[in-house]
Chains A and B, each alone.
Chain A
Amino acid sequence: YDLTQPPSISVSPGQTARLTCSGSAFPNQYCYWYQQKPGQAPVLVTYKDSERPSGIPERFSGSSSGTMATLTISGVQAEDEADYYCHSAGTSGGWVFGGGTKLTVL
């Protein structure tokens, strides 16, 4: 993958989850983050590194520094348990997704 994500992360409710995405295209290219729950289409939770679409809770925030982008979920709730994917421009053109991180809320 052009974008590398850890396969899984576990946090307790109310804690902060930090999901990372490493890629050589950063910081020249924006990072986008998606949440996907079983049997559903992905949902965009942040765009252009740190912007949040309307309707996405404020506890979701994005950032980028050097070759690493991060999705931070503050005060994790049970409903945040899902797979999360980062997305950016591919080094060979077009777009790529990271391999995904499964967030488990303990």
Chain B
Amino acid sequence: QVQLVQSGAEMKKPGASVKVSCKTSEHIFNNNDFNWVRQAPGQGLEWMGWMNPNSGNSDSAQKFRGRVTMTRNTSTTTAYLELSGLSFEDTAVYYCTKASKTTGDGFDIWGQGTMVTISS
């Protein structure tokens, strides 16, 4: 079964912001960092950033700094990715993913993906 449940598809205009959610169980939430990965249509995987669910500390890939915000709600065991200043190039499927205790830093838990479409 899907252990990370993401929010539904979004359509946004250029310049807008989008916020994607990723809900999981308390056990999975508390163990290991959340990572966000995106995939543009027909393209490869692109790592965006990580967030520690306990401290809230986060960091992102250089190309997204200043545009991406990663947060969490510990009460609802939900992580969030917000991306601002959207352009057509941000059209992609956005995945949240985590590593379980057994795989080191290998991402073995994935959400189902959230399609974000940027259209005027």
Contact = CB atoms under 8 A, between A and B. Distances in A.
Nearest to A55: B108
B47 A44 contact: no
A41 interface: yes
Given A41-B112, A53-B102, A95-B35, A100 B45 contact: yes
Nearest to B103: A47
Chain A interface size band reads 20 to 34
Q: Which 6 pairs between the two chains have the least Cβ-Cβ distance? A: A47-B106, A41-B110, A100-B44, A44-B108, A97-B45, A32-B106
A1 to B, nearest CB: 9
A30 B83 CA distance: 29
7 contacts: A32-B106, A32-B107, A87-B47, A92-B62, A95-B35, A95-B105, A96-B47
A67 B114 CA distance: 34
A48 B106 contact: yes
A61 B60 CA distance: 31
Interface of B: 35, 37, 44-47, 49-50, 59-62, 95, 97, 102-108, 110-113
Contacts of A53: 102-103, 106, 108
A43 B46 CA distance: 15
Contact of B44 (A43, A48, A94, A97): A97
A97 B46 contact: yes
A93 interface: yes
B44 A99 contact: yes
A42 interface: yes
Contact of B107 (A42, A48, A90): A42
A6 to B, nearest CB: 13
